[in-house]
Structure 1
C-alpha cells in the first residue's frame, strides 16, 4: 500500500509539473506599471462619480431639475451619445497589393484583427474611437456575418477603412503606434496600416443607433422611483 501511494504521488507530480513565472524583471515592471495605472484610473473614476453625487445632493433641494440635467449630460457623454472633439490620430487601413497583382479578390478585414487593433489602442489610453465615421462604444459588436465583417450591422467591406482616435496625449499615442508591430499582422492579411501625425482638433460623431437596455427598468412611485 505504501509503495502504491508513493507511485501515485510520483505519477501525479510528473503529470502536473509546477508552472513557474518565466517573466523577466522588465516584464514584471511593465505589468506592475499597468496595474498601477489601472488603479489610478479607477480612483479617478470613483472621484468623478463622488463629485457628481455630491453635486446632486447639494442641488436637489434647490433645483433638482438642473442636477438631473447635468447628470444626464455626463451620462450621455460617457455612453458616446454626444459629439466629441479633441487631439488624436487617424489610422487608415487599405489594401497592401491590388486584386490584379494577387490574382484573387482581397478578403475583408477579419473581426479578430480589427478587435486586436482596438484593444491595443485602448491599452494606449485611447478615449474615443470611430470607424468609417461611426462611433465605437462599449456595447458595439464587431463580428463576421455571412462572410462580411460588420460593426453594429454596418459593413466594413470597402477600403480604405478610416479609424479616428481621440486621446489625451496624441503625441504619445502616435509614438506608441509607430513602435508597434501591429502593421506586420495586417501585412500577413495583405493590408497596410498607416498612422497619421497627431492632429490638434479631431471630431468624432455621436453614436447614431439606439442603445438597448435589457437588464434595467424604471421604478414605480411605490418602489421609490419618480
Structure 2
C-alpha cells in the first residue's frame, strides 16, 4: 500500500510538474514597477472620486441641481464623451514599402498588433487616445471582422493611420516610445511607425457612438423613503 501511494504521488508530480518562475531579477523589478504604478493610478482615481463625492455632499443641500450638473460633467469627461486638449504626441502608421515594389497587396493592420501598441502606450502614461479621429474608451473593441480590422464599427482599411495620444508626462511618453522596439514588430508586417515630437496642444475628439449600459437600471423610488 505504501509503495502504491508513493508511486501515485510520483506519477502526479510527473504529470503536473511544478511551474517555476523563470523570470530574472530585472524582469521581476520591471513587473514590480508596473504593479506599483498601477497601484498609484488606482489610488489617484479613488482620491479623485472621493473628492467628487465630498463636493457633491457639500453642495447638495445648498444647490443640488448645480452639484448634479458638475458631477455629470466629470463623469462625461471620464467616460470620453467630451473633447480633450492637452500635451501629447502623434503616431503615424504607414506602409514601409509600396505594393508595386513588393508585388503583393499589403493587408490591413492586424488587431493584435494595434492592441499591443495601445497597451504599450497605456503603460507609458497615455491618458487619452484616438485612432483616425475615433476616440478610444474602456468599452472600445478592436477586432477582425471578415478580414477587416475594425474599431467598434469603424474600419481601418487605408493608410496612413494617425494616432493621437495625450499624456500628463509627454516627455516620458515620447522618450519611452522612441526607445521601444515596437517599430520592429510593425516592420515585420511591412508597416512603419513614425513618432512626432511632443506637441503642446493636441486635441482628441469625443466619443461619438452611443454607450450601451448593461446590468443597470433606474432605482425604484419607495414612497415615504429617503
TM-score normalised by L of structure 2: 0.95
For 1:104, what is the secondary structure of its paired residue?
A: coil
Aligned residues: 226
Tell me the residue number matched to 1:28. 28
Deviation of residue 152 (structure 1)? Answer: 1.5
Counterparts of 2:146 and 2:26 in 1: how far apart (Å)? 44
Tell me the residue number matched to 1:18. 18
Tell me the residue number matched to 1:118. 118
Counterparts of 1:39 and 1:4 in 2: how far apart (Å)? 49
Counterparts of 1:65 and 1:160 in 2: how far apart (Å)? 46
Deviation of residue 10 (structure 1)? Answer: 1.9
Tell me the residue number matched to 1:222. 222
Inter-CA distance 156–3: structure 2 relative to 1 (3 Å threshold) = same
Inter-CA distance 75–182: structure 2 relative to 1 (3 Å threshold) = same
Matches for 1:1-226 after TM superposition, within 5 Å: 1-222=1-222
Across the aligned residues of Structure 1 and Structure 2, the Cα RMSD in angstroms comes to 1.6
Where does the alignment leave 5 or more consecutive residues of structure 2 unmatched?
none
Counterparts of 2:65 and 2:10 in 1: how far apart (Å)? 71
Deviation of residue 12 (structure 1)? Answer: 2.0
Counterparts of 1:207 and 1:19 in 2: how far apart (Å)? 43
Counterparts of 1:30 and 1:155 in 2: how far apart (Å)? 35
Deviation of residue 8 (structure 1)? Answer: 1.8
Inter-CA distance 223–160: structure 2 relative to 1 (3 Å threshold) = farther
Deviation of residue 146 (structure 1)? Answer: 1.3
Deviation of residue 220 (structure 1)? Answer: 3.1
Deviation of residue 224 (structure 1)? Answer: 9.4
Counterparts of 1:138 and 1:158 in 2: how far apart (Å)? 25
Where does the alignment leave 5 or more consecutive residues of structure 1 unmatched?
none
TM-score normalised by L of structure 1: 0.95
Q: Which moved more, 1:19-28 or 1:141-150?
A: 19-28
Counterparts of 1:148 and 1:97 in 2: how far apart (Å)? 21
Inter-CA distance 56–155: structure 2 relative to 1 (3 Å threshold) = same
Counterparts of 1:219 and 1:97 in 2: how far apart (Å)? 57
Counterparts of 1:224 and 1:72 in 2: how far apart (Å)? 27
Deviation of residue 225 (structure 1)? Answer: 10
Once the two structures are superposed, residues 177-211 of structure 1 have per-residue CA deviations (whole angstroms, 9 ceiling, x without a partner) of 11111111111111111111111110011111111
For 1:74, what is the secondary structure of its paired residue?
A: helix
